[in-house]
């Protein structure tokens, strides 16, 4: 079954949005397979965002991600990568629709509360990076 990597960024944790965000994914019908609160090392943040290393905002982005704990999660379900991105909303909160997480809770692109994998392949890579020991192998009773 398809899985995605979701991270509540330091601003989402500091603003007390962890429960709200987990609730939105749970109520949609996706299944939580992994959950860790992490204080991210600089080198690890650089690795996670290595595709953006040439961007002018890269240093600020890394400083943001290491500024406080994040909540790293693996969610599973049919089409969870693309649907997860819809639940999250557009990268720039100015363009995120109301009803999305960024549309409801963010204003600044540099403080946009949450990350979600943008493709099935990047989800696999990110899950392997953040959950090197694997995730919890359990089956929801809703599955069948
Ligand atoms: N112009 C910018 N200024 C500041 N920060 C930015 C800018 N563009 C992107 N970012 C930050 O970098 C992150 C990664 O950018 P990317 O283009 O991969 O968007 P995304 O895939 O929607 O976001 P994420 O990977 O966090 O889910 C954004 O979520 C945002 O926090």
Within a domain: 106: yes
pLDDT at 28: 97
Neighbours of 7 (CB within 10 A): 22
Query: Of 115, 116, 127, 130, which one is the catalytic site residue?
Result: 115
Within a domain: 134: no
Within a domain: 32: yes
Phi and psi at 105, nearest 5°, equal: -125, 5
pLDDT at 134: 94
Instruction: List the one residue out of 21, 6, 19 whose CA is nearest residue 104.
Output: 21
Question: Into how many domains does the chain fold?
Answer: 1
Question: 107: domain CATH number?
Answer: 3.30.70.141
Within a domain: 143: no
Within a domain: 135: no
pLDDT at 142: 79
pLDDT at 60: 97
d(CA 3, CA 33): 9
Within a domain: 118: yes
Q: What is the DSSP letter of 119?
A: S
Name the residue range of residue 111's domain: 3-129
Hey, what are 58's tokens? 């890269």
Q: pLDDT truncated to tens, each residue of the chain (144 aa)?
A: 999 999 999 999 999 999 999 999 999 999 999 999 999 999 999 999 999 999 999 999 999 999 999 999 999 999 999 999 999 999 999 999 999 999 999 999 999 999 999 999 999 999 999 999 999 889 988 777
What spacing in Å lies between the alpha carbon of 57 and ligand 1's midpoint?
9
HEC secondary structure over 63-127:
HHHCCCCEEEEEEECCCHHHHHHHHHCCCCCCCCCECEHHHHHCCCHHHCCEEECCCHHHHHHHH
What spacing in Å lies between the alpha carbon of 9 and ligand 1's midpoint?
11
Within a domain: 140: no
**pTM for this model (two decimals):** 0.96
Question: Is 143 tagged catalytic?
Answer: no
Instruction: List the one residue out of 61, 86, 65 whose CA is nearest residue 4.
Output: 86
First to last CA, the chain: 13
């Amino acid at each position: 079954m398809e899985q995605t990597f979701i991270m509540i960024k330091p601003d989402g944790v500091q603003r007390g949005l962890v429960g709200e965000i987990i609730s939105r994914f749970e109520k949609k019908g996706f299944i939580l397979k992994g959950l860790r609160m992490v204080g991210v090392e600089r080198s690890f943040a650089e690795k996670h965002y290595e595709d953006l290393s040439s961007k002018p905002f890269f240093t600020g982005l890394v400083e943001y991600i290491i500024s406080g704990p994040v909540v790293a999660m693996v969610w599973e379900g049919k089409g969870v990568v693309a649907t997860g991105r819809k639940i999250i909303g557009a990268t720039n909160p100015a363009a995120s629709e109301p009803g999305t997480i960024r549309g409801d809770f963010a204003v600044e692109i540099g403080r946009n509360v949450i990350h979600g994998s943008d493709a099935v392949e990047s989800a696999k890579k990110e899950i392997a990076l953040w959950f090197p020991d694997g995730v919890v192998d359990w089956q929801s009773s809703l599955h069948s």
